[in-house]
Amino acid sequence: MGTITRSFANNITTSGVLLPASLVNNSIANVTSYNAAVATGGMVLISSQTASASASISFTTGIDSTYKEYQFYFINIHPATDTADFTFNISTDGGSNYNVTKTTTFFRANHLEDGSFSSLDYDTAHDLAQGTGFQTLAKDTGSDSDENSSGSLTLFNPSSTTYVKHFISSISSSNDYPAESTQFMAGYGNTTSAINAIRFKFDTGNIDDGTILMYGIV
């Protein structure tokens, strides 16, 4: 054992770096098996949907026990109707019903383009207290040709049959004041049943344009 230790020590610098001489080019030929590489911390794109005058966008497959965390990214979600609220709901029956009981919070920061007004406020009109309706992600999105909402929603451990299902979102919206509105929502689906589908829609009018990406987090 002492000989092996001395041999290794002779091939390492005082700063702990292996010397080139310690690496034998043909040593890999002596390896008889390899462990499978396991990715950690990566994002896996599961599904992508792009709206075209769509009443809603639903993900009814791919939400299962494969991942403990799912992320949805909203890219340039544009409403057909001005000042529409972008919303979501979740399902325990594969999308037959979107009516999970939810408790949520909602607040936002606003800043007019001309700088004449800014605010930070909690919005009680857009939270839920054990409600089953669609939850607002972004309120008052403008329908001008350049206006849209973009951001993300994270859904945690949807397949758990022990815990309630937490979610959190952050959205940047342009609206018709005109202004920037940074909107935050968080809450939980008050069910121990597995969540296996999710739907996004505006509270009025179609989703005129925009893409939603669904990722699983390894």
Sorted by where each begins, the domain ranges of the chain are: 43-217
pLDDT at 44: 98
* Level-2 CATH architecture, domain 43-217: Sandwich (2.60)
Mean pLDDT for the chain? 89
What are the C-alpha distances in Å from 189 to residues 1, 124, 126, 179, 205? 59, 18, 16, 31, 26
**Which of 214, 151, 155, 217 lies closest to 189 in space, CA to CA?**
155
- Asked if residue 56 lies in contact with residue 200, where contact means CB atoms within 8 angstroms, the answer is yes
Q: Which residues contact 49 (CB under 8 A, 6 or more apart)?
A: 57, 59, 211, 212
User: How sure is the predictor about 34, in pLDDT bands with cuts at 50, 70 and 90?
Assistant: very low
Among residues of the chain, what percentage have pLDDT more than 90? 80
User: How sure is the predictor about 37, in pLDDT bands with cuts at 50, 70 and 90?
Assistant: very low
Q: Helix (H, G, I), strand (E, B), or coil: what is residue 145?
A: coil
pTM > 0.75: yes or no:
yes
Q: Helix (H, G, I), strand (E, B), or coil: what is residue 7?
A: helix
C-alpha 22: how far from chain center: 45
